[in-house]
Amino acid sequence: MRYLFLLLAISTISIFKAQSVSIVKSSETSLELLFQFEPSQLMVKQFNHKDYIDFTQSSDLTLFEKGAPSLPFYSKSILLPSRGNSSLEVFYDDVIEYSGQEILPSLGLQKRKSITNDYVFGKIYSEDSFYPGKLATTTPPFLLRELRGQTIHLYPYQYNPIRKTLRFYKKLRVIITFNEKGHGINELLDPSASHLGKQHFKHQFITPVPKKEKYFEKPDQGEMLVICPARFKQTIQPLVDWKNQKGILTRIEFIENIGDSSHLIKKYIIDYYKKHPSLLHLLLVGDHQDITPYSYGFYDSDVYWSDSYYGQISGDDLYSELFVGRFSGTVDEVKIMVQRTLEYEKNPAAGDWMNKAIGIASSQGLTIGDNGESDWQHERLIRTSLLASGYSSVYEFYDGDQGGSDEPGNPSSTAIVKAINSGVGLLNYTGHGDTDNFISGNFHASDVLTAENYGKYPFVVSVACNNGKFVNSTCLSETWLSATHNNQITGAIAMCGSSILMDWAPPMKTQDEIVRLLIDPNPTVRKTSLGGLFNNGQFSMLEKYGIVGNGVVQTWVFFGDPSTVIRTQITKPIAFTVVKNSGDSLNDYVVHSEINGLNIGISKNNTYITSGTIINNNYTFSLPPSEISDTFLVTATLQNYATQQQIIVKEKSVKLDEQPVLTLNLYPNPSNNIVHIASSGPFEVDIVTLEGKKITTYVHSQPEVFSLDVSSYLTGSYLFVFKINDQIITRKIEIIKQ
């Protein structure tokens, strides 16, 4: 290893930012990564009439140990084998050493309720050693559906406060060795049979999915579970029907059948997920007294109320397998939320409103915000990104005189309401807040209720205290979702609000990542569902901030339907045709469209039948055979397109004089998710392996299509042994996992 010793004046010294990471070698037993860093200008700050290096003004992230040197660090996540442990070795090169330097200490993690610039030089400043002691560490492994990951923290800066020496390691080579034989933390003992983790979270990792695991390219919307009190059934049913129509298999369960305690709710969801591994969306319907949120305990007299807890299925980490949302309100208020969601997804208001946004921010936070940004700088950078990606306009409402499109002085609620009335698809707030208001702009719940944004519903992301404090109070998030004016629906399609006093910097990273994923030009990275945007934003924040960000994940509540697809452009029309397949089968159909990527849902009487995606201009599906003519609904949806539906009439495909047993049909075959069983009469079926081991038995008493979830079955052949009218009928089904 070589060292370069330099003595530079403080005014000319440089700092360094993570520039690149590359995979040097990769195998089943080890991974070698090379991290390289490049210099940029350093910022200096005076404290007690003395010049100090202030990394908070020029680095993405600095260490949060209060009273210890505030040095930059970086984080990246990798995929791990399903089982075992990992070990880490670090090698370095191109080390630069600076003498005679003073480094400011960290102020620690700050809450938005208060700001302190009182630097405290802790005990580390009296120790003759380099801080931090290691160049890299790893977090405990975490689970994310069928993925197992780990985050690497890199510390390319070390400082000795006694010698006043700063070291910088320009290159760090990290070797991670995998030992699958040892007992590991959060092992993937029973991986989900679905591919949704790879589809929705693959981009969170710098390492690719192992080649031995085929990545399933076909998009999947996942399934949805709605939990509500029984009295909400009639109100929520139109939303459930719509989701089944559009191709999201959706079911309702009543809280009365589960038990209204966080323990019982979590147990039910875990058991449900094991039986339905394609479950992705969870919608809780009702206020806190209807569906109990989970409490992580107390902080500064605040209770850590959480809904995200219910989506954390695997392992003891905070990475959620499910996108969790809540319709919080009375039956009448939830009816408004359902109607707004149906309108937004099926028939949005005309115009270009969804291509506009609002940014509201305080003037505070310089050096303590994410990337060292003040709140208004953070929002202006978001604005720049949105405009560069095609947004037509982004309103600026910042405290103080910040130039640009920001009006002089502090913004007013009147001006904000006027912008909302004009129509926006996205509203970002970063500043101080309380249960029913944004402090910047003096914008209260009462202002939401005066707005006249009929049919123009924004997605609101709030980095502020208590905007989601819905337990024992009515919070701003609830008002946004239940809002009406002149008996017409207004308000927001969804809102993210904190149930406690919010941390300052970490949620700003989530907000940044939501915007990045919203506008990313790569369709495999870009996220379209509101739940996907919010949760992936949270995961990115956890990677960057580690345990410092835990409270944000625990208490940032998503109000709204997480499966809703956000609109960002003027609505375009959909055209498609449905014809019988040219083959011999009377039950096969083809959907044709010039728009590739269309999501196609097939339903009957609001019951999910099957779903798929237009690829190469076509999607082929099979319908169950029947003795009579039957009708089915074909629904086509896609982000920024108008919903299109078409009824098809399927002619009878079996003779009337045939015995019911002859109408038995199983499809698709092979299958990887759902096997549909169509029979003209009741039946009992044993599912048996080829070795003769019975897996389960189902009894079906109705002459209608029965959908059997086989997504948890292993790849292989299975025998379906039917007992129908004293006859034994055996069919073989192939289960293939992608």
The better pLDDT of the pair 648, 669 is held by: 648
The beta strand positions in 27-79, using DSSP E, are 30-41, 44-47, 50-53, 74-79
Those residues whose C-beta lies under 8 Å from the C-beta of residue 356, and which sit 6 or more positions away, are 391, 392, 393, 394, 395, 422, 423, 424, 425, 426
Highest mean pLDDT among 77-81, 110-114, 688-692: 77-81
- Domains in the chain (CATH in brackets) are 3-192 (2.60.40.3800), 223-559 (3.40.50.1460), 572-653 (2.60.40.10), 658-738 (2.60.40.1930)
Q: What is the per-residue pLDDT across 59-80, written as a single tens digit (0 to 9) for each? A: 888 898 999 999 999 999 999 9
Q: What is the per-residue pLDDT across 280-310, written as a single tens digit (0 to 9) for each? A: 999 999 999 999 999 998 877 788 999 999 9
pLDDT beyond 60 at 628: yes
Give the confidence band of 213 by pLDDT, cuts at 50, 70, 90: very low
pLDDT of residue 217: 45
Number of neighbours of residue 580 by Cβ within 10 angstroms: 14
* Measured distance CA(426)–CA(431) in Å, rounded: 17
pLDDT beyond 80 at 5: no
C-alpha distances in Å from residue 529, one per residue of 168, 238, 345, 526: 41, 19, 11, 10
545 φ/ψ angles, rounded to the nearest 5 degrees:
-100, -15
pLDDT beyond 90 at 255: yes
Mean pLDDT of 501-530: 95
Highest mean pLDDT among 75-84, 426-435, 516-525: 426-435
* Measured distance CA(36)–CA(58) in Å, rounded: 17
* Measured distance CA(427)–CA(411) in Å, rounded: 15
The proportion of the chain whose per-residue pLDDT surpasses 70, expressed as a percent, equals: 91
pLDDT of residue 653: 61
CA 503 vs. chain centroid, Å, equals 20
Q: For residue 553, what are its two tokens?
A: 């994940």
pLDDT of residue 672: 77
Mean pLDDT of 664-692: 79
- CA gyration radius for the chain? 28
Instruction: Report the b/e string of 449-476 with b at 16+ CB within 10 A.
Output: eebebebbbbbbbbbbbbbbbbbeebbb
Apex 323 CA angle, 319 and 326, nearest 5? 125
* Measured distance CA(197)–CA(532) in Å, rounded: 11
Number of neighbours of residue 415 by Cβ within 10 angstroms: 14
Give the confidence band of 625 by pLDDT, cuts at 50, 70, 90: confident
pLDDT of residue 730: 75
Q: What is the per-residue pLDDT across 123-140, written as a single tens digit (0 to 9) for each? A: 999 999 999 999 999 999
Mean pLDDT of 469-493: 97
Q: What is the per-residue pLDDT across 546-599, written as a single tens digit (0 to 9) for each? A: 999 999 999 999 999 999 999 999 999 999 999 887 665 667 899 999 999 999
Secondary element (H or E) of residue 378: helix 375-388
pLDDT beyond 60 at 654: no
Number of neighbours of residue 586 by Cβ within 10 angstroms: 16
The answer to whether residues 37 and 156 touch, using CB atoms and an 8 Å cutoff, is yes
505 φ/ψ angles, rounded to the nearest 5 degrees:
-85, -45
DSSP track, 578-631: EEE-SSS-SSEEEEE-SSTT-EEEEEETTEEEEEEE-BTTEEEEE----SS-EE
pLDDT beyond 90 at 475: yes
Those residues whose C-beta lies under 8 Å from the C-beta of residue 424, and which sit 6 or more positions away, are 353, 356, 357, 358, 395, 453, 456, 458
Mean pLDDT of 16-38: 84
